[in-house]
Structure 1
Amino acid sequence: MTAMDAAARAAFDDDAASLASLFEGHAARHPDRIAVVSGDSRLTYGELNQAANRIAHLLLARLGSGETTVALLFQPGTAIVAAILGVLKAGKIYVALDPSYPQPRTVYMLEDCQAPLLLTDTRHVALAHQVAQAGPEVVNCDEISPSTAVANPDSAVGGKTPAFLLYTSGSTGHPKGVLHNHRNVLVEVRNYTSDAGIGPEDRLAVWHSFSFANSIRNLYGALMNGAAVFPYDLPGQGLMPLGAWVRGNEISMIHTLATTFRAFVDTLPGDATFPSLRVLRLGGEAINSNDVQKFKRHFPPPCVLMHVMGPTETFSIRRHFIGHEWHGGDGKIPVGYPVADKEVLLFDENGRPVGPDETGEIVVRSKYLAVGYWRQPQLTEAAFLPDPDGGEARLYFTGDLGVMRPDGCLIHLGRKDFQVKIRGHRIETGEIEAALSKLAPVKAALVHAQPDGHGEQRLVAYVVTAPGKIATIDELRRALARTLPEFMMPSSFVFLEDFPLLPNGKVNRRALPVPSVDRPVLPVPYAAPRDHTESTLTAIWMEVLQLGRIGINDRFLDLGGDSLRATQILGRTMRSFGLELSIGDLIQTETIAQMAELITTRTAPGSGDPS
């Protein structure tokens, strides 16, 4: 890896610098260098700068100066990158909305962020009008006049200017917005650049939603270093084509979640490798020795694995480098050692520091924490405390438990509360419980995470039905899908007459039953497999979904399926039958019987598919 030179570090450390000013510097020096590539669409730094400037001038003309929020509704691609930079150049605060989220959730976020404008493109303009309702004005960026000024706008954007809102799950039943400024992101990118030696020749992949903190590192890691960013629409295109996409685009740096990494590797042939990749960065979740072995198998030297920890409120606070020479044990993989300007402390329940090898809550002391929670001053004051030693630094209590080794290496032990991490998303189970409790058949609901047979965390909903009411899993899933994104959908539902209680009257969560591996109660009767193809598929589905019995007419989603499990099923199915399938095939064939019929058709003589 190439060390960061003094000039680059000085640019990142300038308190007056902004994301806009550093990008403009690269655009001025290297206008013909490729900045962003998405499918057949690509923009140089000069072209991206002009596209962003058109949007910035439009925003300044409509909104004037001031720190106003602007909402964005785009698929991953060149258009959203230009829109993000345009908002930043105008000194506004962008709020990226995910088109795949349920509309009620998007409507709430729009109302909460109070954005007067919603920027979108022709592809999403109809959806934008639906979610905007009587709120923000919808602006189709595809219709911005080519005569709009393309010079850099003269706006006072500095390090402390707010940059964006990232919405995370909230305990009140609604998501909450985390506000960051330009300076925080520049410090994050500086540390990332220093660790990974990011340079202009790098190609950084972004395949997580731009509304998610995991997109921040590689988006700005590329654009603040004159490198190229490659957005990939993971929800739309799926994991199956991802290996060919990474190789074809010669991606050199990936930042993703451990769960996504496992699902991605599960789609690969055993001998697949990625010689262009030099940094694989896994964050958001714990990793294990099996993950390290998969890294070694598919990502040859000089590729390095970086295991990082960084809540949305703080960005990266620890990192651990793992090379091919690493031979750790089977225990927890540490999250590692300090990053600059992010001090980690461990406190006991009484707020006192703990010593080496003792468990305590992970507390971050830094000048570069989130500004706070959007329009929630009391929550901000409770979560971000002044440094008792004085100065600009503040303390953020993460709610995570950890142990510090004597050499300063941090081991993350998990949460101390009912907040959980599912596929890298931090989830307040209270938000899911609130959504369940609003449903007519539900008297009370509890949700918590349990590891499945593969070691992945899954959400389990415990439901007590109202007197005289009957609830079905199918009914609850369909109702929740109208308000919650896929990653917040419980994998299992357990119906109880009442919750077990402790002597003090509180729910005894330890006494809640483990979800059964039996086939859930479904609206269709059980039907056994009728031939070899259906039997093979049934075995695959049972293994992936961790169920002891599945009927050939049972719907995938009713069995607790999601996009990652769909990818696992497809990978195993393709290896078993020697043919190509897509996520679309599983969506269209949502039962074993339908998938077996598709396989029979594809493998029939004269079909053109391998048999």
Structure 2
Amino acid sequence: MPQRAVLRLVCDTDYVQLGAGDVIAHLSNPAFDAATFEIWGALLNGACLAVIPRQAVLSPSELAAALDRHGVTTLFLTTALFNVMARDAPRALTGRTVLFGGEAVEPRWVAAGLSHGNPGRLLHMYGPTEATTFATWHEVRVVDPDTSSVPIGRPIANTEVYVLDRNGEPVPCGIPGEIHIGGPGLAIGYLGRPDLTAERFVGHPFVSESGKRLYRTGDRARYRNDGAIEFLGRLDDDQVKIRGHRIEPGEVEVALRALPQVRDAVVAVHGDTAETRRLTACVVPSPGPTPTPAELWRELRRTLPEYMVPGAIVLLAAMPLTPNGKLDRRALPDPVDLAEQRTGFHVPPQNPLQQMIAAIWEELLGIRNFGVRDSFFELGGHSLLAAQMMDAVERACGVKIPLTLLFTQPTIAGLAAAIRRRTRASAASITAVNAAGSRPPLFFLHGDFTGGGFYCIPLARALGDDQPFYAIHPHGLDGHAVPESIEAMADERIRALRRMRPTGPYVLGGHCNGAFVALEIARKLVEQGEEVPMVVLLDAKAPQRAASASRSIKTAKTNPVPQVPATPGAINPGHGKRDMFARYRAAVASYEPAPYSGRVVVLRSETTRDRRPDLGWSLLGAGVETYTIPGDHHSSITRHVAETAARIRTCIETADSP
């Protein structure tokens, strides 16, 4: 690349004016051609260069904070990163000159960046590395809601751009052709590849001066009626752009076939957007021991840059062929099922926290049938998706985990354990998830002493801002000893509840084992004269001793039930999770609930096998209502949290206060 090409890019140009008062963000990998604009744009114009750490670049919230901290005025974002910022942190664009490009755009995110981000200037840039970063520009002021593209505009200063047909003649407006670029921004050629240089850098057909050349980009485009150029994609070659890098899948196939463990390989591109697009490889192993995908990835990384390594590898016995003996690409396995074929056996999520993380992975990666021990990166994840995933986990769980953790613990099990460690220091038995709102507060015993009860955050959010929500943690999770009876657990939690809210009304709820303690708290509060409009029991079967309690319902209405004293014995949580489980099982098995005449709402998941419609709770009183919610024991409070919350909210709204 000659020096004049860099000067033409950043000095005395028309698309941007840089000066001593500017701060340019350095976000790109130094090997990426956008770094040329960032570094030399600052140094050759007396501006400041703000070097943003890689970890911050990959986290929308951290990047926004870093841009503010450094006072950045100008920045370039790849299209994929721009989409993420427009969606998750649009304020990072506000007031700044924002350049974006590198692959086909999605108009909806450009419109979102404009309306929600309100940048000072928003410039859509186009240009291959061979023309030194940028060749055309288009200032985006408005995005037509019906458009399918955003123009790449007109040539930047000191640059020639033509759209030519197969005969090298200019095409009229509306007719597709190939983009050719000329001017002082052209590279000298490809190092050590005179054949490729001669193929791509051709003589200038419109200038008689010797040595003048045009670069054939291989990109299709057409002129609009207003003279702006509209990008249409690649020509008939196999080049694709993934995360700003131009890739030929054939090169990856050659690298795979060069491995002794591989007899044949086909590489395809899956995903429709800049964020979801990734390489997937189908491999037929050579005779002998079958290689694992992990072994193939390890070998490929010796010869290919990371962005060319397929995100997914599936092993096949043979390539599917058409009746004519040609490769039948349409018969290749669906990439949604690649993970299952790649790793075979999976450990499913074990608790609601792992379920929540799995749902986020499924949405981002677009695949199913993976386990909690499968690697995010081996499932097709990359650094940009990793940043989105960690942000989504933070929003769902309310706990911030550094992105670097994912590179040492890239599994659902590892992330869930890290989240638990981050919250273990807190000894609070009740957490105010949402303290605001005018409705009677819901005190919810989440019962999740393995996952931490983080599903309460999206549940509270789905219930609405006007519904106060307090998560009551099970004993052992909060660092305190585990009482031996449900009654003793209820007594301790009532003391904590009254410290936080001395008087009612109280709405109680509980999931799984938490339902027993919730009902017992409600019964005790009513006996103490407090208002309990409703108790919600989520997917919990009535204890075995409930039948004996039902025989006392009539006498209980006239004779107060004596308080059951708390059992003095308690197990220390430090004795281990297995002992804690045993103590809970024993407490539930010995729990003989007293009759309860208040309103009880039972929500049973649709996969519950118990034949009793009310799961046995009507034995305790007449005021039991039963509703079915979608999902199973875990997914009803994670994947289907919106439907579950809607049912709870409706029940709260119709609750009659005593």
Normalised TM-score (structure 2): 0.60
Which structure ranks higher in relative contact order (CA pairs < 8 Å, sequence separation ≥ 6)?
1
Match among 459, 464, 472 for residue 292 of structure 2:
472
CA contact (8 A) 2:80 2:275 kept: no
The answer to whether structure 1 residue 409 and structure 2 residue 228 are counterparts is yes
Deviation at 1:396? 1.0
Distance 1:227 1:502 in 2: 59
- Identify unmatched segments of 5+ residues in structure 2: 434-453, 455-658
The answer to whether structure 1 residue 536 and structure 2 residue 353 are counterparts is no
Letter in 2 for 1:495: L
Question: Which 10-residue stretch deviates more, 339-348 or 308-317?
Answer: 339-348
Instruction: Give the SS at the match of 2:240.
Output: strand
Please name the residue that 1:290 is paired with.
108
Please name the residue that 2:421 is paired with.
601
CA contact (8 A) 2:223 2:230 kept: yes
CA contact (8 A) 1:474 1:523 kept: no
1:463-498 superposed Cα distances (whole Å, 9 cap, x missing partner): 222234523222222222333222112122243444
Letter in 2 for 1:232: I
Question: Which 10-residue stretch deviates more, 453-462 or 423-432?
Answer: 453-462
Letter in 2 for 1:415: R
Instruction: Give the SS at the match of 2:129.
Output: coil
Distance 2:272 2:371 in 1: 21
The answer to whether structure 1 residue 373 and structure 2 residue 190 are counterparts is yes
Instruction: Give the SS at the match of 2:337.
Output: coil
Match among 400, 417, 421 for residue 580 of structure 1:
400
The answer to whether structure 1 residue 259 and structure 2 residue 80 are counterparts is yes
Deviation at 1:304? 1.5
Match among 331, 341, 347 for residue 164 of structure 2:
347
Instruction: Give the SS at the match of 1:313.
Output: helix
Deviation at 1:508? 5.2
Please name the residue that 1:309 is paired with.
126
The answer to whether structure 1 residue 212 and structure 2 residue 32 are counterparts is yes
Distance 2:332 2:151 in 1: 31
Instruction: Give the SS at the match of 1:230.
Output: strand
Letter in 1 for 2:27: W
Instruction: Give the SS at the match of 1:194.
Output: coil
Deviation at 1:234? 1.6
Please name the residue that 2:581 is paired with.
none
Please name the residue that 2:139 is paired with.
321
- Identify unmatched segments of 5+ residues in structure 1: 1-179
CA contact (8 A) 1:205 1:251 kept: yes
The answer to whether structure 1 residue 182 and structure 2 residue 16 are counterparts is no
Letter in 1 for 2:2: N
Distance 2:271 2:336 in 1: 13
CA contact (8 A) 1:418 1:448 kept: no
Change (3 A) 1:571 1:380: same
Distance 2:338 2:256 in 1: 23
Please name the residue that 1:490 is paired with.
310
Normalised TM-score (structure 1): 0.65
Change (3 A) 1:524 1:466: closer
CA contact (8 A) 1:317 1:338 kept: yes
Change (3 A) 1:365 1:499: farther
Please name the residue that 1:116 is paired with.
none
Match among 215, 218, 221 for residue 399 of structure 1:
218
CA contact (8 A) 1:273 1:298 kept: no
Structure possessing the higher radius of gyration over alpha carbons: 2
1:99-140 superposed Cα distances (whole Å, 9 cap, x missing partner): xxxxxxxxxxxxxxxxxxxxxxxxxxxxxxxxxxxxxxxxxx
1:185-210 superposed Cα distances (whole Å, 9 cap, x missing partner): 1111136x422221210100111111
Letter in 1 for 2:109: D
Distance 2:294 2:271 in 1: 23
> Identity over aligned residues, as a percent?
35
Distance 2:343 2:333 in 1: 24
1:311-344 superposed Cα distances (whole Å, 9 cap, x missing partner): 0011322111113x44453401111122233222
Please name the residue that 2:97 is paired with.
279
1:97-246 to structure 2, matched below 5 A, reads 180-190=1-11, 193-234=13-54, 238-239=58-59, 241-246=62-67
Letter in 2 for 1:230: A
Change (3 A) 1:504 1:190: farther
CA contact (8 A) 1:204 1:222 kept: yes
Change (3 A) 1:593 1:441: same
Please name the residue that 1:28 is paired with.
none
Instruction: Give the SS at the match of 2:162.
Output: strand
Letter in 2 for 1:398: T
